[in-house]
Amino acid sequence: MNTRVLTGITTTGTPHLGNYAGAIRPAIQASTQAGVDAFFFLADYHALIKCDDPARVARSRLELAATWLASGLDPERVTFYRQSDIPEITELCWLLTCVTPKGLMNRAHAYKASVDQNAAKGVDPDDGVTMGLFSYPILMAADIVLFNAHKVPVGRDQIQHLEMARDIAQRFNHLYGSDFFVLPEVVIEEEVATLPGLDGRKMSKSYNNTIPLFEGGASALRSAVMRIVTDSRQPGEPKDAEGSHLYTLYRAFATPAESARFRAELEGGMGWGDAKTALYDRLEGILAPMRERYDALMARPERIEEILQAGAQKARAMAAPALLVLREAVGLRNLGGSQPAAKTAQPARKAGKGARFVSFRDADGSFRFRLLAADGEELLTSQAYADPKQAGAAMKRLPADGLLQEADQGYAAHLDGAVVAGSPAGADAADVAGMLARAREALAELAQQ
């Protein structure tokens, strides 16, 4: 089975060299690997949370799409679309909003940071806080779980949002009694380059120290490179390559052999002017062909629109059927169809699905799973796990390797001699033998799938 990887890019600015090395290039390279089903989208709804300048958002959507395509993103190989072209995302966002505790959103880092800033100013805690900012993690969760992404590459500042997406998806699965959503796994790219800017700090528009990727052409690139801060060592004096921002930048765009040569020349006394020229030549050799493609795309915005519309069509072919299932699950059914039975003490579950596992999270944050029969009867409840991966591994092994035995006041499931699950709380003591037999049948059914 392919691994589905999903990446969103907020449309609030124009990419610079650091964005290319740190996010665009590795993401495109990953999308070419065998067994990877890659989804890339322009997060233009997210942009509205941060930016109220319509012209900037519109321009950024065009520039970002052109940048990714010019950098080598293959729209035939990946699913490339705009968030705003997929109405199922916002519909799912509302369904998820209706099951998300407000307390979870209260703990979101971005919201808490705004509250803290307001407290420092002595103003109302929610001054300037929009519902877009407050509920941002729910929209992000909808982006991810609608397409059942297995892995989501993010920076460390986004880890909490991925954990929230898992919590929200798990809550929905538990509430409506089926594994509607895959629980996404966060991927931190530890090896991704973080490039220094003109002043040595991390390259960022916030510091106004960026090197343009395509904007302004070759002259803007040369001008930026020549402004990179260096020390006062003169030509002929050995340079500290490891401490040089020039060397760090050069190394990010050169082979190991080329980097070694450049380092040797710096340590041998190459002047900073010559070193900057060498860096410019290296960057221009790589960026010039991409810039040519970028300029051609920017001159034909209708071609970019065609590509994005084709991507949206591909994405909606998966999103629309998924939303029909979810609408049915929450009760938004076609009135001409058969009506469900009245709700009893437990949520009604669809018959005919076969035995299945469902996972959930306890109030204390621990992870568990249940084994359900085809009719939704609960047959096993797992022990609590601190690590969701351990819970998942036990759930995966149980059908083939598990041993079910009678125990005090019920029965228990064993793996490698350890109890991993037991009969559900409140099980009828008079029917232990019958439930044990059904649990064994359910595990045998799953083992054959």
Residues contributing to the annotated binding site for L-tryptophan: 143
> In the numeric block, which tokens belong to residue 91?
């519909």
DSSP letter for each residue of 1-20: -PEEEEEEEESSS--BHHHI
Enumerate residues 6+ apart whose C-beta is below 8 A from 87: none
CA distance 275 to 250: 9
Q: Which residue has the tokens 């044990």?
A: 436
Element containing residue 319 per DSSP (H, E): helix 301-330
Which residues neighbour 66 within 8 Å (Cβ) at sequence distance 6 or greater?
294, 297, 298, 304
Binding residues: 10-12, 18-19, 143, 155-157, 195, 202-206
At residue 232, φ and ψ (nearest 5 deg) are: -95, 10
DSSP 397-422: HHHHH-EEEEETTEEEEEETTEEEEE
CA-to-CA distance for 428 and 432, rounded, in angstroms?
7
- Residues at the binding site for ATP are 10-12, 18-19, 155-157, 195, 202-206
User: Bridge-partner residues for 421, per DSSP?
Assistant: 382, 413
Report the number of secondary-structure helices (H) and strands (E) in the chain.
17, 11
Say whether 219 sits in a helix, a strand or coil: helix
